[in-house]
Amino acid sequence: MIMKKILTVIFIASLAAVSCTKVDENVYDKYESNAFYATPAGADNALATVYGKISGTWGSNFAGRDNCWYDLNSFAADDQVIPHRNTGDWQLDFAQLYTQTYQPSLGLINNTWNWLYSSVYSANVAVAQLTSANAAPSKIAEAKVLRAWFYYLLIDDFGDVPFYTDNNTDASKIAQTKRATIYNFIVSELKANVDLLSETKGGAYYGRFNKWAGYMFMAKVYLNAGVYTGTPAWQEALDACNKVASGGFTLHAGGANTASPLGYSYFDLFGDVCPDDETIFALYLKENIVSGNIYGIRSLNSANGNALIGYNGWNGTIILNQFYSKFSANDIRRQQFLVGQQPKGGTTYNPVVSSLISPGAAPDDGIRDMKFFPAAPVDASGASNDFPIYRFADLLLMQAECNVRLGNPSAALPFINRVRARATLADLTTVTLDNVYDERGFELVFEGHRRQDMIRFGHYQDTREFVTAPIPKTRELFPIPVNALNANPNLKQNPGY
């Protein structure tokens, strides 16, 4: 039921017996909801609830903390893994994702599903509040774009999923909607709303969907249209990319910098605050205040972590040698990896990993990744590095890919070579899809894009280190979690599970 107007004004008139002094005080006890959400502050309050879902917390977040979307998508790809250790450390979940031996009951799958639908619910609330209040069109548009983004993440991971835009719905009775149908909804929402978004970059719109982040999201949707619907949309993806490019972004400086813990200004992109020059959409994180970022500390072992940042590392995430060996020796991005003997902590990271699951890897097996070198404030449970969801280097590589797929590889060269030049690599004279795929791996490792890229480029089923048999195509989708199937008899499990 729509909330009634409950603006209450209380007048207190107090007569003093001797002085006859009158005191008038207006106390506003309650604020009518539509009036509140119609104001800029009220609209931002409604949106803040939805954005808060993205940072989230342990087991319920997009990135930063663990056991949710980032881990599910990253460990199912080939650029990182957490092995079970032969000392008994670390559960098998992460290694099972990498080796594609997980089951539908995996907790990470359930966490991601629950987080996404909780986020859809919050977005539906915001859309309803702002629409009812006749809030500024840009604010309503922002809520709708956020909702579309959560549905994009759902169809990317799970395919056909329950779809609703009205929370007054019995969730146990919602049937699955076809992936292509939800794709069409997402495209329609973006076409109707992206141009209504603010053009402000940074400041109050750091970490929010402005017009440029909206078009970047649109480009991502079109880029994967062939996966979602069977019909590619390369020209539409390129057109959306070009809209983002008109926003005035550029590559952040990448050269040597003694002030950087990794020696290059390039790694400013992954520090406490993502630079506005390259960052299109970022996730704000602050340790134990707004979630936090575990990725650097999770990779270090205890002694090396204590020597570098004053806290024991978790001795978890590693980069396997097959992926690491693809980097050129003079690529500055290679500096994010710790391999061999370390100058601090008496640690030697062995690039050769003996086992992932049984009996598991030795304690110091595996190359470590410090792309997110822990930024203060930091403690034993994480750091304060913000997370770049979308950035300009990704856009350039998308422009390169679209041009190659549209049969114009010469037009792709300037885009991919800009990214390579910052990494101190020589220009390519010709470019293929394999070149673009490899460059995306070098540039975007540890940023959550790899699984989607592997699927789009046709490499997700490839054998990889510790995976000697081809991966079934059905694994390109995660299973519908068991708890969701039990709660809703209308849901059907994805093939192959």
pLDDT at position 26 over 60:
no
The tens digit of pLDDT for each residue in 434-451 reads: 999 999 999 999 999 999
Q: Which runs of E-coded beta strand occur in 152-255?
A: 161-162, 176-177
Buried/exposed code over 44-74 (b: 16+ C-beta within 10 A; e: otherwise):
bebbeebbebbbbebbbbbbbbbbbbbbbbb
pLDDT at 3: 34
pLDDT at 18: 34
Strand partners, 58: none
Tokens 């005191």 sit at which residue? 23
The tens digit of pLDDT for each residue in 458-487 reads: 999 999 999 999 999 999 999 999 999 999
The tens digit of pLDDT for each residue in 385-438 reads: 999 999 999 999 999 999 999 999 999 999 999 999 999 999 999 999 999 999
Q: For the chain, what is the mean pLDDT?
A: 94
pLDDT at 350: 98
Structure tokens at 68: 């949710």
Confidence of residue 31 (pLDDT cuts 50, 70, 90): low
Domain locations in the chain as residue ranges = 295-369
The tens digit of pLDDT for each residue in 355-365 reads: 999 999 999 99
Distance from chain centroid for Cα 462 = 24
Q: Determine if the pTM surpasses 0.85.
A: yes
Burial classification of residue 32, based on how many CB atoms lie within 10 Å of its CB (0-12 exposed, 13-18 middle, 19 or more buried): middle
Structure tokens at 280: 């299109």
pLDDT at 48: 97
pLDDT at 247: 97
Confidence of residue 490 (pLDDT cuts 50, 70, 90): very high
Strand partners, 26: 11
The tens digit of pLDDT for each residue in 92-101 reads: 999 999 999 9
pLDDT at 32: 81
The tens digit of pLDDT for each residue in 174-230 reads: 999 999 999 999 999 999 999 999 999 999 999 999 999 999 999 999 999 999 999
% of the chain at pLDDT higher than 70: 94
Q: What is the mean pLDDT of residues 369-383?
A: 98
* Amino acid making up residue 31: Y
pLDDT at 439: 98
pLDDT at 434: 98
Q: What is the mean pLDDT of residues 294-308?
A: 98
Find the radius of gyration of the CA atoms of the chain.
25
Q: Do residues 263 and 333 touch, judged by C-beta distance below 8 A?
A: no
Confidence of residue 171 (pLDDT cuts 50, 70, 90): confident
d(CA 149, CA 130): 18
d(CA 477, CA 160): 10
Measured in degrees and rounded to the nearest 5, phi and psi for residue 10 equal -110, 120
Confidence of residue 5 (pLDDT cuts 50, 70, 90): very low
d(CA 17, CA 41): 44
The tens digit of pLDDT for each residue in 49-74 reads: 999 999 999 999 999 999 999 999 99
- Cβ-based neighbours of 327, under 8 Å, separated by 6 or more: 333, 334, 337, 442
Distance from chain centroid for Cα 78 = 17
Q: Do residues 454 and 78 touch, judged by C-beta distance below 8 A?
A: yes
